[in-house]
Structure 1
């Protein structure tokens, strides 16, 4: 793909203020499957053979990120277009009990661009393209809806996958297998002599490396940027500026410093940093990520289906986003952090020490200095305290939040014994693009707690 074509697709992705018909790059949106023409309810039915084959043929990262009709297919069928490994669940499958609160969907409300909508109205609104929502309180399902998928379908997590990396790092720290005050280069010796020298593990875990790895509009529109080269390499696509397929880890080794900024000072969101920890964890446990995650997490869970780990060309799990499970199993993962963990697993996974670390490892000052702070305040109607260990937000009451591209999310509220998860295929071209589910989930948790 030529650099101009690459930038064209990305501009369509990240500029929701541009109407498709006004966008000079509209011809890229005109590619089959790039636009949104199908309602999400169509994903509940089998896709035709012709549609599936066309989607498979056209698969690449930025066609996917447009959030159009083909993205609806990819979100539910990533194992058909990417090499995939699995983490198997425990042999003892246990369905979650249900205690559906029939009034929750009408009483929980939040203000969105269409006005104040109830939860029930929001999840079926065609502009938000929600496919499934599940809420668990005190170990029981209290709200569930599947407007755009079936309960046994597997769906991509996108960036909530980063929460799995944060968990593994916190586990290894508690086991004294890693020291988060040491430098990244102590665990990745091939990075010594690069700009990674001097960056502590904890600052990398909190995405405050002071390296030019942030996912911003400027960086993802620049075919010469390191983040563009990184994403291309992960999908086995050619570097848009050279036409060659690069090694993603070698690309990250060459990251440049941000002038005048020190590690730990500013939260700069970057999927690239997450992948560093996948490699470190694999080396420490001497196992693939899929296997170590099975041994440490998924194999202890009474989940219905395996977790799917979609892989880079060199076989590394893209744990920063390309994981797939059922919605209910996604919720089970969140339950591991709550007092009702034993409804989702046969053995504890998240110790009190690990949970405390996840809730307290961030820097409120670095969080407020970052670009995500203001948006998170709008999404929740209140300000989180900080980010921490790959989670986008931690609240003063200890609730954890992680968002994902195209509208995925996990809200974990240990104090209120609540978990909320959801999947969507919500693109970027208006009238799509807004995602206010975070606010609904936190308000639901408070309402169920009687607040």
Structure 2
């Protein structure tokens, strides 16, 4: 376990790597890329067949020091088998499995998007292009699959969602709010008393839900590389390992209690993305429901879904699940989850899981002013092909004026839900963040496809 901290830090270091298309031989990045298995030399198609024992043994030996985040050959194995490397809790699906019906729309290939690296591409060409290294893409319209591609996985393979999983915490939190079990205007410490007497006292539940905490815990390229930063201490704690600054192991609550408010910034003012917020919300949910996260999610969501397989959540040493990103399912089950937010929910579930009130709460819970000019605002503008979202809300990165919602995940995972157009799109990938890789235009294709199908 002593290397797992570096893995998680690597998972969260995208912004730094994206802005480093070139690297010197003396740099840390060059050192990490020089490790066997760190570079992408295999096509993603290789993951559709079992890897040799020798390959897997070598991948296990090197599961450290940003190796996963390099998005290379070994990462193809890691992202599809993460429960082999960490303690894992499961949320079981409904007893009855229901396969999504197919209504493949060939004319979706009329959609073209201009990429920065490969020019204008059609949907089918983009989906399998080696530069983008997508392993699975699925689009669902009116409860039926209208497009699917599996260039780097089989239909029954599991794949990690990365931060797209944060939407599950946002959903359950919205449910609790609608039921009156939480008041999002109240201090988060009312529900997570372990953090009372600290900077968290001044934060509302909504501040935490929307990443507007004004704490020194923002995930930036600088903070995740600083061995003395609080974010490094946090990730060290959740895996029970000394941080890279050499400090002794600390428990998670002690580290969270040490977070400090930013000078001259009020809570609610600025969207600053931070995974510890999702962890705190998970703690809140477990306290209120008096059950582990996986049991809560099964009872409220996954157990009502006609999914093929369980939802798997990796855990930190204290036994708390990490839906902040470490959740694995099949691609189609990920799409089924998205359909819960649409009018066609009956295609995937036994009952209406996401009520109109819950959906409205999620869509309208953000602050456009706090979102404006944030890092997610800018990255979304680029990946959506020049269209800007209006806000973020309830752990979703982007909420559009028309109610469409999207959440990205590291190494280019994505869930896109457009309730008004009854459309869902999901993507799982193992995309390196060094040249010639890193770009994604999957969000632009998803939004264009939803509009195209709605206009037919």
Same fold (TM over 0.5): yes
> 1:407, CA displacement in angstroms?
0.7
Contact kept? 2:32, 2:66, Cα under 8 Å: no
**Structure 1 residue 279 corresponds to structure 2 residue 293:** no
396, 399, 410: which one aligns with 2:401 = 396
- Paired residue secondary structure (1:281): helix
14, 17, 24: which one aligns with 1:15 = 17
> 1:146, CA displacement in angstroms?
0.2
**What residue is the counterpart of 2:158 in the other structure?**
154
Q: Distance in 2 between the 1:293 and 1:342 partners?
A: 19
308, 311, 321: which one aligns with 2:325 = 321
> 1:136, CA displacement in angstroms?
0.2
The alpha-carbon distance between structure 1 residues 7 and 406, as it changes in their structure 2 partners (threshold 3 A), is: closer
Q: Distance in 1 between the 2:298 and 2:153 partners?
A: 26
- Paired residue secondary structure (1:309): strand
Deviating more after overlay: 109-118 vs 404-413: 109-118
The alpha-carbon distance between structure 1 residues 23 and 61, as it changes in their structure 2 partners (threshold 3 A), is: closer
In the TM superposition, what are the counterparts of 1:399-418 in structure 2 within 5 Å?
A: 399-418=404-423
Q: Distance in 2 between the 1:312 and 1:8 partners?
A: 14
- Paired residue secondary structure (1:295): helix
Contact kept? 1:12, 1:66, Cα under 8 Å: no
- Paired residue secondary structure (2:255): helix
- Paired residue secondary structure (1:116): strand
14, 24, 27: which one aligns with 2:27 = 24
Q: Distance in 1 between the 2:198 and 2:61 partners?
A: 39
In the TM superposition, what are the counterparts of 1:34-433 in structure 2 within 5 Å?
A: 34-60=38-64, 62-380=66-384, 381-433=386-438
- Paired residue secondary structure (1:41): helix
Deviating more after overlay: 426-435 vs 112-121: 112-121
Q: Structure 1: state its 5+ residue gaps.
A: none
- Paired residue secondary structure (1:15): helix
Q: Distance in 2 between the 1:79 and 1:8 partners?
A: 18
Contact kept? 1:235, 1:312, Cα under 8 Å: yes
Count of residue correspondences: 449
Q: Distance in 2 between the 1:58 and 1:311 partners?
A: 21
The alpha-carbon distance between structure 1 residues 283 and 190, as it changes in their structure 2 partners (threshold 3 A), is: same
Write the deviation string for residues 63-95 of structure 1: whole angstroms up to 9, x where unpaired: 211211111111100111011111110011110
- Paired residue secondary structure (2:407): strand
Contact kept? 1:12, 1:29, Cα under 8 Å: no
Contact kept? 2:9, 2:66, Cα under 8 Å: no
Contact kept? 1:106, 1:120, Cα under 8 Å: no
Q: Distance in 1 between the 2:394 and 2:172 partners?
A: 10
Contact kept? 1:7, 1:222, Cα under 8 Å: no
The alpha-carbon distance between structure 1 residues 146 and 8, as it changes in their structure 2 partners (threshold 3 A), is: closer
Write the deviation string for residues 343-386 of structure 1: whole angstroms up to 9, x where unpaired: 01001110000000000000000000422212211111211010
Question: Given the two structures, how large is their TM-score scaled by the length of structure 2?
Answer: 0.94
- Paired residue secondary structure (1:392): strand
Q: Distance in 2 between the 1:104 and 1:253 partners?
A: 50
Contact kept? 1:160, 1:403, Cα under 8 Å: yes
Q: Structure 2: state its 5+ residue gaps.
A: none
The alpha-carbon distance between structure 1 residues 13 and 431, as it changes in their structure 2 partners (threshold 3 A), is: same
- Paired residue secondary structure (2:79): helix
Instruction: Output the aligned Cα RMSD.
Output: 2.0
**What residue is the counterpart of 2:454 in the other structure?**
449
| Structure 1 runs, 4 residues or longer, greater than 6 Å off | 5-13
The alpha-carbon distance between structure 1 residues 188 and 232, as it changes in their structure 2 partners (threshold 3 A), is: same
> 1:37, CA displacement in angstroms?
1.4
The alpha-carbon distance between structure 1 residues 203 and 106, as it changes in their structure 2 partners (threshold 3 A), is: same
**What residue is the counterpart of 2:445 in the other structure?**
440
- Paired residue secondary structure (2:370): helix
- Paired residue secondary structure (1:34): coil
Contact kept? 1:110, 1:440, Cα under 8 Å: no
